[in-house]
Amino acid sequence: MKAHFAGGCFWCVTPIYKMYGVDKVICGYSGGDEVNPTYEDVKAQKTGHRETIELVYDPEKVSYDKLLDIFFANVDPFDPEGQFIDKGFSYTLAIYYSTEEEKLRAQSRIHKLEEESGKKTYVAIEKFKSFYEAEEYHQDYYLKNPEAFEKEMIESGRRTK
């Protein structure tokens, strides 16, 4: 099965899913109408896409609800401008659903979070329409560039020293 989440910087959210049994995490772009967008255009807010990860998973090993748990544990759902130091539409949060069941689960999770926190969340729930794989150097960035990745995590505010 596949799931698609926009959680801000795709480099920053990739490794956590692999720790929880997701078979494959692919960095890419979703949400916009432009075909085959480039990183530079997405980052410059020119395409209407968000940085998105495609999760290929076995629901016998990890459930969709668990994927939602991981998503919400690793983002700031209360920031309407983006995530951590990454600002702009391409870094805003979205859950792209493929089935009505996924949509309902995402809506339920957001409703519960808003009730518990007393705050408005900024997580778009949109019907999945397309996913464009990002350029190769973005794939498994944390493995290819561990020092730069660690620096990004600290400078972004996602991780403390």
Q: Which residues are catalytic?
A: 9
Secondary-structure percent of the chain, ordered helix, strand, coil, rounded to 5:
40, 25, 35
Q: Give residues with Cβ within 8 angstroms of 156, minimum separation 6.
A: 9, 12, 83, 84, 85, 86
Angle at which helix 64-73 crosses helix 10-19, to 10 degrees, equals 130
- Between strands 2-7 and 93-97, the pairing is antiparallel
Identity at 98, one-letter amino acid code: S
